Homo-oligomer: A and B are copies of this chain.
């Protein structure tokens, strides 16, 4: 496992006060293309095609998208239409709906000055997400540091939950980066088929962070965990139910099963805005099923027979009993129960 030079990661999202500039994550790692967004429709489209992704980051982007929309047309119908377009862009992550609701509430509270009230609220959401990332990274690293064996450790992660998925250093990968500030950490990164956010984005971030890593196909993860290749598994989360069931990138449940069987911690980390206390259990979480074309191809290359029918759920649900710790900016819920989840929500 080798690592590249330690260099800064370009920001996945930059707000200049009027326009939102986002790194088009579909082009990484080959190209660092920044695109400008100016309202609800183009922001929703960027979220839908995963140019902007990661539960916390799509919440921040949607907040700015709606604020930009009402800055152009500061009326209640424009607000409602923009909110519907943005909230419908992706169904699973909680943050999208949460951020849109917050912008809507700010607008309704300041009907005479919708534009500046919503802009201020979007900026507050971004600042809070950055603060949440920093705090949850500390809580997650504290929890792991207390139980991991001394010396170098290997941590497995899935998909991308770093600086490209949230403000600051991210969620799951933020916990890992914080741990790497304290001790020697190697990372095993699952590629995350079909869209390969692990292979494309997490590897790109780990090189910039100077953290040693190796990439693997998703199917290799359970066997490697059984063989003792990692001492913990850390991921982000997209939505958490009141009982602690976790929806996250498809494949997370398999990692949690294997971590549990191997007797190592599985940590899911994210901002409290991803917790949805209205849902009693994970059974109520809508799982986005994406286009079959994503499964039939990789990086533009056809992998199977054209037209082959596919199943393509983008997420899965991990039951609370497989989650060793659920970490937010408010602390680590451990064991994961309705009571501990309520304390970190």
Binding site for B on A (CB under 8 A): 1-2, 29, 188, 190-194, 196, 199-200, 203-204, 207, 213-224, 226, 229, 249-251, 253-254, 257-258, 261, 287, 295-296, 298-305, 308-313, 315-317
Contact = CB atoms under 8 A, between A and B. Distances in A.
B261 A257 contact: yes
Contact of A295 (B216, B221, B229, B313): B216
Given A193-B218, A194-B217, A224 B303 contact: no
Copies in the complex: 2
Nearest to A198: B304
Contact of A304 (B191, B229, B253, B300): B191
B218 A304 contact: no
B216 A309 contact: no
Nearest to A188: B311
A316 B226 contact: yes
From A192, A253, A257, A261, residue with most partner B Cβ within 10 Å: A253
A67 to B, nearest CB: 35
B295 A298 contact: no
Interface centre among A215, A254, A313, by most B CB within 10 Å? A254
A309 B213 contact: yes
Given A304-B199, A305-B204, A219 B295 contact: no
Given A214-B309, A309-B2, A298 B299 contact: yes
Nearest to A201: B304
A226 B298 CA distance: 26
Given A222-B257, A309-B2, A217 B250 contact: yes
Nearest to A299: B301
Contacts of A200: 303-304
A139 B133 CA distance: 55
Contact of A301 (B188, B287, B300): B300
B301 A298 contact: yes
